[in-house]
Amino acid sequence: MKSTVKILAISGSLRSVSINSALLRAAVRLAPPGTSVEIYAGLGELPLFNPDLEVDPPAAVRSLRGQVAATDALLIASPEYAHGITGVMKNALDWLVSDVAFPGMPVGVLNASPSARHADASLREILKTMSADLVEPASISISLVGSGLDEDGMVNTPAVASALQGALQSLHAAVLSQRDAPL
């Protein structure tokens, strides 16, 4: 039995100063013992989804699918654009729709702006449609937009750090529960 819970963190933003990406980097630093969080760095490398390419997917798609298959859970943070999730996040999820490793995958959703309720709802709907195991206690909203907090500030702000640690612990527990479930 695996002892460490591996979480792959995916930011739906390509911005270098993205608050969502900073939130995920803070999660890496705040991961509880027995949990490793790795940031997926290939979002901008994925080609636009094309079902015709699924027979022999491009290298970037194979890499994404391989990383998902090698992890125990996903942690997603994505901003809201025009009342929806970002195009790059939707594109990545489209590439995972037919991936056999995805159904039943425990997923936590982080929302860095509680006013981004449309994107949060849209992301949750997409994940449910894809048969993800959406872990509600690991899916939280933290009001960070306009806070001035960067990654260090998030780690060092007790309310933010505590909320993030709680989400990670919930995702960790969901993975362990799946591992212990009878086949």
CB neighbour list of residue 156: distance below 8 Å, 6 or more residues apart: none
How many Cβ atoms from other residues are within 10 Å of residue 6's Cβ?
A: 15
pLDDT digits (tens, 9 = 90+) for 62-109: 999 999 999 999 999 999 899 999 999 999 999 999 999 999 999 999
Residue 122 pLDDT > 60: yes
Residue 182 pLDDT > 80: no
Contact 33, 97 (CB under 8 A): no
pTM given for the model:
0.95
Strand-pair partners of 141 = 111
Contact 177, 73 (CB under 8 A): no
CB neighbour list of residue 31: distance below 8 Å, 6 or more residues apart: 7, 37, 168
End-to-end CA distance of the chain: 14
Pairing of strands 106-111, 84-85: unpaired
pLDDT digits (tens, 9 = 90+) for 103-118: 999 999 999 988 889 9
